[in-house]
Structure 1
Amino acid sequence: MEEIPLWYWLIVFFALGACVGSFYNVIVYRMPRGISLINPPSHCPLCKKHIPIRYNLPIVGWLWLRGKSACCNQPISVIYPIGESLCGLLGALSLFLAVAVGYGSVVPGLFSAPVLAPEVWANAFALFWLLLGAYPVIAVDCQYKLIPDSISVGGIVAGLLLSIIPGGITPFQSLLGAVAAGGGLYLLGWGATKILKKDAMGFGDVKLLAGYGALMGITGAVETLIVAAILGIVVMVPYGKISANKGNGSSQIPFGPFLAVAAPFMYLWGGTLFELYVKFVIGE
């Protein structure tokens, strides 16, 4: 492992990301429709025939079939290879950012240097989860107002497992982050619901932030919540006015996508942004 250069691991992370993206395509299609993610296995949505594994290869399968199903020769949406390619790029980006942050910058010879430090791997896998998880959260929550448990609850499990790797947050910090972030947002939503007399926070958002707490610790989760709230206000205010002008009574937009967008940024640069904020406010 010590002799393997970064460029090789970037290819591996791209392939892993594309495979995860293929699974996320299944989540985005099946979960809102109440279909099991496991049974039935991969099949054509038109003629219901089983899809052989060779045609299920991420990106390659779609190119091999030239964008048409092998069973009934019907077009296959280009969304599938686009989503897989995007997740592949995000997978490679997660490792690159972890290494670049570990070095402090992009230095000459970075791509040929081996990846050694355990904390770099811990950061890479955490960013892998955060970056790729944003895809199904945004796709499903924006359309169906749902957040897949495989991402929210899965984030809690991933955070606890990654905390075992030396150099990142400790298992205690991960567990405390999940409980405090999820519990804190639940209480905040409960209080807002009582005051506003209507649902103010979905439980999916609570579980999602708990997952971020497990990956980032309490501080990172709180920073993510604050930035997501700011982004939400920036988008919701003009969106609400536009909806009101069009006579659309439903101007609600989901909060999960804002959390998903804010999380990887705060994981990487939350500490730096907080220091800049303190210097700006206190002047020290």
Structure 2
Amino acid sequence: MRMLEAEFGGKQKAPEDDEEKVGSVDPKGKLITDGPKKRIAVRCIEVLLAATSSVASIYSALIIKPSSSPPPANKLPAYLLYILSFLTVLSTIYLFLIYPCCCGSRPRSRDAAFEQGPGGLMVLPVQSLPGGGKKGKGGKGKKHKGGGGASDGVQVNLIVDPTMFGSGRQDEDEWEDEQGEDGETELGPPGSYAPRRRRPRRRGIFAGLALEAQWKRARKQLKVGMVFDVVAWVLWGAVFVVVLMGKRCPVGGYNGWCDAYNLASAAACLLCVSFGVSIFFDIKDLHASKASPRTRP
């Protein structure tokens, strides 16, 4: 029986391994995506293509000195390749490498306030109910008898985190007594050696608020990245169209100047395609993370 369990039951995935769902945030405050390696690979390809276009364009402009001027030299397509490729390298490295590592990982004070919580309590001021302070008929500017009404004072809502009082512990103990030690339940039939499932721990109110704040911040960064991808896709598509409408440069001509120019033009086409793939991933991630992690089952 143990051999059968080791052979067929050992590969089953325990439910606790899937606590971090796609569309939520990880402990670092980043969105959990389906296939993060693919997205990283696409970003690396974009940086490499932009660097290739930039190096080829600058090399052909500064290093190669042909005897006669090539047809695309000192024309709009060549200048667009020079400028846009250099700007793409800088902006891509900053948005997706420098900012997430240096600035994006810093915890903000608002998130820290939710995580700590004022002793498990939160006080929210509430405005007076509408119609509570209406004046009596014929009594302009006169106060009611007995002083101001209840609506004249300050009203607050007191939110208490039940975990600070240990409530719910008795229910957990009863649940553990029914299900087994440490609140674990067997996934297989009685007497089997299948992996046990641990009851997921309940989050407190402030932990849920902190998680939602991190989720909103991660979605905001995703939207900024999507705007950048759309702008870059449009610009590189326009540059490639301008290059196609410009003059042709023969392969191997003008002491290699045309080879560098054609390489930069090909990189522009591939950049347009790669940014289109990034837009697809951005839309997919926005759709997967549209629900707040606090409202998920």
TM-score normalised by the chain length of structure 1? 0.21
- Answer 1 or 2: which has greater helix percent: 1
Larger strand share, 1 or 2: 2
User: Structure 2 length normalisation: TM-score?
Assistant: 0.20
